Every structure is written in structure tokens, then in C-alpha cells.
Amino acid sequence: MNAQENTKIARQAYEYFNSGNIESLLGLYTDDAQWETPEVKNIPQSGKRSGLAGIREFMSLVNEDLEALKFEPREFIAQDDKVVITGDYRWRVKATGKEYASDWVHVCTFKNGKVTSFKEYLDTAAARDAHTA
């Protein structure tokens, strides 16, 4: 697959996520895909996960922990087997009622038309503070 096709798949992933279609989102990932967000104390969905079961667990934990107030990818930058996506979001932590916002960067690696790895960068201090009662 080329960078343009990978970008198309990445865009579809965000459409599935924003519509809550997690099963279709998972269909865009390889069975052994790696998923990584920064490890942050008191945030249950943070850290590394492997495989579709791990990604499904991440999505479930996000749904239990957070209410999405805004989730917007802004820019897709592709080269070879990587697509870098920039965006921003705002969440409400269900347990504390606190909100936080952050710009983010996601780096996705592709092979044969599927995502093999996902890594997120965000404002971890804002997320941590919103999770602290």
C-alpha cells in the first residue's frame, strides 16, 4: 500500500471511532497490532497493549472512564508505511467530573493495508490532573 491509501485507512479509523463503531475500527488493525499511550498513574486505559483484545480493552476502558466532548483529527501526514495524525480533544473524566483538553499526535504504522502499531502523544499532566479527585 502507498502513503495515500494508508491515509485513507487512517481517516476511516477516526470516522469509526467518532461514530462509536469500534468493531469496524478493529477490522482496520492486524491481529497482533501494538497499541501504546503514555503510562499515566490513575488512568486505567494508559500504557501498552497487544493484539485486538488489548485494543478492545483500551476502547472499553475509555468508554467507562471518559466522556468525549471533542475529538478532532486535523492533519494527516504520510510517508512510506507511516501516517502521523495531529489533532485535539477535550474529555470529561466520569469519576471526577473534571475536564481536560490536549493537542495530540498519533503515529500509525501500516502493513498490507492494515494498522500494525498505534502510538499516542498527549498532555499527560492535564490528563493526570483531571483524573485526580
Query: What distances in angstroms separate CA 110 from CA 1, 39, 55, 107, one per listed residue?
Result: 8, 23, 16, 10
> How is the chain split into domains, by residue range?
3-131
Q: Which residue in 100, 103, 99 sits closest to 122, CA to CA?
A: 103
Residue-wise pLDDT for 37-82, tens only, equals 999 999 999 999 999 999 999 999 999 999 999 999 999 999 999 9
Q: What is the CATH number of domain 3-131?
A: 3.10.450.50
Report how far Cα 124 is from the mean position of its chain's Cα atoms. 14
Q: What are residue 128's phi and psi, to 5 degrees? A: -60, -50
CB 78 within 8 A of CB 53: no
Q: How far apart are CA 46 and CA 52, in angstroms?
A: 16
Q: How sure is the predictor about 28, in pLDDT bands with cuts at 50, 70 and 90? A: very high
Q: How sure is the predictor about 133, in pLDDT bands with cuts at 50, 70 and 90? A: confident
Residue 1 pLDDT > 80, yes or no? Answer: no
Report how far Cα 71 is from the mean position of its chain's Cα atoms. 10
pLDDT above 90 coverage of the chain, percent: 97
Over the Cα atoms of the chain, what is R_g?
14
